[in-house]
């Protein structure tokens, strides 16, 4: 009887140890899965990288400026900038730096602050909307994903007060 009891205790101990090992294994597996999910979450990729880094941003800004020059609602504001090629190039460089610095890239913005840059332009709501439309159109042309476009739209709107009616 004593031996039978000992055997039962031994078997139960084996069973319990086995079960807890399996549980630990399962825990490890699910931990791995959680890590994988966190690593591949889109939010982990900076907006800067989602826009294609320095090169992507440079091409996007060139296209945005060209879209503004072609857009009859706002081109009267941008066409005069071309009369001074040095100023025009500095303006484009500043917008590239602005977008890079503001999205997680390494650039340093060397232009004016937004209200100072837009003072005297008296930009209207309609002009602001036209500019945002141009930007979203260019992002689509560059195959930027919908989530990134939404993020950009949110950021642009957050700066509306710093660029219109000044």
Contact 113, 97 (CB under 8 A): no
Contact 80, 137 (CB under 8 A): no
Alpha-carbon distances of 69 from 6, 74, 83, 137, 165, rounded to whole Å:
90, 7, 13, 14, 21
**Minimum distance between the CB of residue 117 and ligand HEM, rounded to whole angstroms?**
4
Binding to ligand HEM by residue 163, rule CB under 6 A?
yes
Binding mask 116-145 for ligand HEM (x = CB under 6 A): -xx--x-x---xx--x--------------
Nearest of 111, 131, 126, 132 to residue 165 by alpha carbon: 126
Contacts for 1 with CB less than 8 Å, ≥ 6 apart: none
The window from 1-9, 20-28, 36-44, 91-99 that contacts ligand HEM (CB under 6 A) reads 91-99
DSSP state of 84: S
For ligand HEM, the closer CB: 23 or 112: 112
Interface with ligand HEM (CB under 6 A), residue from 95, 138, 139, 144: 95
Number of residues that bind ligand HEM (CB under 6 A): 21
Interface with ligand HEM (CB under 6 A), residue from 57, 74, 138, 139: 74
């Amino acid at each position: 009887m004593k031996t039978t009891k000992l055997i039962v205790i031994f078997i139960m101990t084996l069973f319990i140890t086995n079960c807890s090992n399996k549980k630990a294994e399962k825990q490890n597996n699910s931990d791995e899965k959680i890590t994988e999910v966190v690593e591949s979450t889109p939010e982990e990729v900076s907006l800067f990288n989602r826009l294609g880094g320095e090169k992507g941003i440079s091409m996007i800004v060139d296209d945005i400026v060209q879209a503004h020059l072609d857009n009859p609602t706002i081109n009267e504001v941008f066409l005069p900038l071309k009369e001074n090629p040095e100023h025009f190039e500095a303006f484009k460089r500043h917008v590239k730096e602005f977008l890079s610095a503001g999205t997680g890239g390494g650039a340093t913005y060397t232009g004016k602050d937004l209200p100072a840059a837009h003072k005297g332009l008296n930009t209207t709501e309609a002009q602001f909307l036209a500019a945002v439309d141009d930007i979203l159109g260019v992002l689509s042309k560059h195959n930027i994903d919908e989530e990134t476009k939404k993020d950009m739209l949110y950021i642009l709107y957050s700066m509306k007060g710093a660029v219109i009616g000044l």
